[in-house]
């Protein structure tokens, strides 16, 4: 694996303007994704763009192959699109994976914030009702559990009895 990666690294002319353009474009995508990490709508749009470009890269590599002299100093374009996959799709798929991780972290943070607010509201409602009284949110939770058959009595009835 190491030999294959190093062979690829040594085969590419990293001073070629075409290669520099690809690297700068991908670095710009990374910067934009990290700069807009708090904006959900922008992240969704960027994820769609990242996936579309990653999907199109091997196809573009095949299509641009006959015109390589106009684009680069070396013929990087093969009929299978390996160059497009390695230089464009692989870094962009890694970026998409990072975006999904950031979305997961954001969703988990939002879930924690929601639950804390819900518990605060239930606590205030219980304090208004006074000690020993059933608050409305607790009653709503009980009704929801009954609706899906998760009452203590239903849970006990569904357990197998040990003989």
Instruction: Provide the sign of the torsion angle of the four alpha carbons 46, 51, 52, 58, taken in this order.
Output: positive
Least confident of 15-24, 115-124, 142-151: 142-151
The predicted-structure confidence for 145-163, as pLDDT tens digits, reads as follows: 565 555 555 555 555 555 5
Let me know: does 76 contact 64? Beta carbons within 8 Å.
Answer: no
The predicted-structure confidence for 48-106, as pLDDT tens digits, reads as follows: 999 999 999 888 888 888 888 888 888 888 888 888 888 899 999 999 999 999 999 99
Residue written as tokens 């990242």? Answer: 50
| Cα distance between residue 1 and residue 107, in whole Å | 36
> What is the pLDDT, as a whole number, of residue 128?
84
Domain extents in the chain: 2-158
pTM for this one? 0.69
> What is the pLDDT, as a whole number, of residue 49?
95
- How would residue 112 be classed by pLDDT, with cut points 50, 70 and 90? very high
């Amino acid at each position: 694996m190491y030999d294959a990666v190093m062979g690829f690294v040594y085969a590419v002319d990293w001073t070629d303007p075409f290669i520099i353009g690809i690297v700068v474009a991908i670095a710009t995508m990374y910067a934009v994704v990290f700069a807009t990490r708090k904006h959900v709508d922008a992240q969704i749009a960027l994820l769609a763009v990242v996936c579309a470009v990653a999907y199109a890269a091997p196809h573009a590599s095949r299509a641009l192959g006959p015109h390589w002299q106009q684009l680069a100093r070396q013929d990087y374009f093969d009929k299978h699109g390996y160059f497009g996959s390695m230089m464009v799709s692989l870094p962009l798929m890694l970026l998409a994976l990072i975006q999904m991780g950031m979305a997961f972290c954001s969703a988990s943070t939002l879930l924690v914030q929601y639950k804390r607010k819900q518990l605060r509201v239930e606590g205030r409602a219980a304090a208004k009702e006074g000690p020993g009284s059933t608050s409305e949110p607790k009653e709503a939770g009980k009704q929801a559990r009954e609706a899906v058959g998760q009452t203590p009595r239903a849970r006990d009835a569904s357990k197998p009895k040990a003989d």
